[in-house]
Amino acid sequence: MTVIAIATIYGKPGKRSEVLKALEPEAKYVRESELTTEAYYFINPVEDVNLVYGIEVYESVENLETVHKTSGPFQEFVSQASALVSKPFDLDFFTPAFGFLTREKFSKLQGPDIFLLYVKFVVNPGKRDEAFEHLAELEKVVRDTEEQTYSYLYATSNSNPDEFIIIERYLNKDAFEVIHRNAPKFLEVFKTLDDKKLVASKNIIFATESGIGFLGRD
């Protein structure tokens, strides 16, 4: 079963660029040789300049454990990173629910103007399925009509049934703020979520592309 692993790498102050440099050869190896890894993509949170998030998609947890983690390039990265991080990285697991990590022709990194969000939701207990009914309607409209939305993937937490994430990428900031957030379906769905008190909390993390990794295999 496909699994999404979100890696949080805690760089020491001022060391994020060095962490990313250490990731480059390993990410290249994953793309070229580790075919059971479907995506391996790193982003830089805007507010915390020391963090790096990895969005990693594997055919299964077994592939992560027996193929990815045992490779020489991964072990080399871990060795190099030990002097660059303040503590060991975290790995949180999610299961894809609906949506798309990339449109077919946009799997490669797009450059500095890409507007990127990593959104963490917690719904009120037992309300995830009801929330998803409304959000799936929104995702279909986004998929069919918002060509400047390059990624719009929902995934459920493997550790908490009331948590889910959305990974969003847009051509630029206007594609998010002017087109997406002002779309009638977006306004309708989020009003419904508020009116029905389905969502307990939401944390929006703005990020930029690191230039390292890949979102799919064209």
Q: Please report which helix (H) or strand (E) contains residue 158, including its range.
A: none
- pLDDT interval class at 129 (50, 70, 90): very high
Look over the chain and give the mean of its residue pLDDT values, rounded to a whole number.
Answer: 96
d(CA 196, CA 204) in angstroms, rounded, equals 21
β-bridge partners, 93: 5
Q: What is the predicted pLDDT for the residue at 164?
A: 98
Residue 97 pLDDT greater than 80, yes or no:
yes
Residue 19 pLDDT greater than 80, yes or no:
yes
Q: What is the predicted pLDDT for the residue at 217?
A: 82
Q: What is the mean pLDDT of residues 84-106?
A: 94
Q: What is the predicted pLDDT for the residue at 75?
A: 96
Structural domain boundaries enclosing 34:
3-214
pLDDT digit string, tens, across residues 39-63:
999 999 999 999 999 999 999 999 9
**How many distinct structural domains can be found in the chain?**
1
Q: What is the predicted pLDDT for the residue at 104?
A: 80
DSSP 106: G
Helix, strand, or coil (residue 96) = strand
- pLDDT interval class at 108 (50, 70, 90): confident
In the block, tokens 């008190």 appear at 197
Q: Among 120, 179, 182, 115, which Cα is nearest to 151's?
A: 115
**What CATH number does the domain containing 192 carry?**
3.30.70.100
Give the angle 30-110-169 at the CA atoms, nearest 5°. 95
Q: What percent of the chain clears pLDDT 90, i.e. is strictly above it? A: 94
Q: What is the predicted pLDDT for the residue at 176?
A: 97
Residue 218 pLDDT greater than 80, yes or no:
no
Longest dimension (CA), the chain: 52
Q: What percent of the chain clears pLDDT 70, i.e. is strictly above it? A: 100
Q: What is the predicted pLDDT for the residue at 111?
A: 81
